[in-house]
């Protein structure tokens, strides 16, 4: 006959119950920690993306765009053009068109100005008779080379990076060339040094280069 095991003693029963309670408590604690970690991750992800997004996407949202043939911009003239934002969507419609001013100061020498005033962003107008850019909002005035002439703006017009390839004029578009978007770009030549942070050297005004335009505003 099979021998029957003796029933567990009261102490053994209490030990078994205690072990079960500890295991259940540990399991529930681990589940709670995991859920809290998931919730924290869900909350933190958009916050981190918002804080780091402009820095991480700075180069992703720039692309060279053709704005016209070199021959269409005669020397000594400033011309209003528009180009399509390279990161627009089909439903953007007319808002995907971005205006800018192209100036050819000499054969092969081009400057492309953002149309926005460096004060509060109002669109400036070019007056060929006076050879001045003027802002209708607060009276900002700029010389033909984009440098500040008078009014509330503290710097010249912002400009795009430009290059010429195959007889075409291209600009590095996708973001407006403001100090905020360009703060991590190459620092001013006269201020650049291995030990100097690029951000500080970009925001501090550069010494005049003779034309009156602050180098920190040039693309």
C-alpha–C-alpha distance, residues 71 and 67, integer Å: 12
pLDDT in tens, 32-82: 888 888 888 888 877 776 666 655 555 567 889 999 999 999 999 999 999
Q: Is residue 203 part of a domain?
A: yes
- The burial of 203, by beta-carbon neighbours within 10 Å (0-12 exposed, 13-18 middle, 19 or more buried), is given as middle
Q: Is residue 207 part of a domain?
A: yes
Q: What is the dihedral of CA 19, 25, 27, 28, to 10 degrees?
A: 160
- Residue 218, pLDDT > 80, answer no
Q: Given the structure tokens 């079960």, which residue do they identify? A: 20
C-alpha distances in angstroms, 133 versus 41, 114, 119? 50, 11, 13
Q: Is residue 188 part of a domain?
A: yes
Q: Which runs of E-coded beta strand occur in 7-146?
A: 63-69, 77-84, 97-106, 109-114, 125-127, 132-134, 141-143
Nearest one of 35, 110, 118, 22 to 66, comparing CA atoms: 110
- Specify the pTM: 0.59
Q: Is residue 191 part of a domain?
A: yes
Among positive and negative, which fits the CA dihedral 78, 171, 125, 184?
Answer: negative
Q: What percentage of the chain reaches a pLDDT higher than 90?
A: 42
Q: Is residue 213 part of a domain?
A: yes
Q: Is residue 43 part of a domain?
A: no
Domain that holds residue 208: 183-219
pLDDT in tens, 79-136: 999 998 888 888 888 888 999 999 999 998 999 999 999 999 999 999 999 999 999 9
Query: What pLDDT is recorded for position 83?
Result: 92
Structural domain total, the chain? 1
């Amino acid at each position: 006959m099979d021998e029957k095991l003796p029933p567990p003693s009261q102490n053994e029963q209490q030990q078994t119950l205690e072990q079960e309670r500890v295991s259940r408590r540990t399991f529930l604690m681990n589940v709670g920690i995991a859920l809290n970690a998931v919730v924290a991750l869900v909350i933190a992800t958009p916050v981190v993306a918002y804080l780091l997004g402009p820095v991480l996407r700075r180069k992703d949202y720039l692309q060279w765009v053709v704005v016209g043939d070199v021959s269409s911009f005669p020397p000594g003239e400033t011309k209003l053009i528009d180009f399509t934002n390279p990161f627009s969507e089909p439903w953007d419609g007319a808002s995907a068109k971005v205006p800018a001013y192209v100036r050819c100061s000499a054969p092969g020498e081009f400057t492309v100005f953002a149309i926005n005033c460096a004060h509060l962003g109002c669109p400036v107008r070019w007056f060929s008779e006076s050879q001045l850019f003027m802002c209708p909002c607060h009276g900002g005035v700029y010389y033909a080379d984009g440098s500040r002439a008078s009014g509330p703006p503290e710097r010249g017009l912002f400009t795009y990076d430009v290059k010429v390839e195959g007889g075409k004029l291209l600009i590095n578009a996708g973001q407006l060339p403001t100090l905020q978007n360009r703060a991590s770009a190459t620092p001013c030549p006269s201020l650049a040094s291995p030990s100097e942070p690029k951000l500080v050297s970009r925001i501090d005004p550069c010494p005049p280069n003779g034309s009156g335009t602050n180098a920190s505003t040039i693309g």
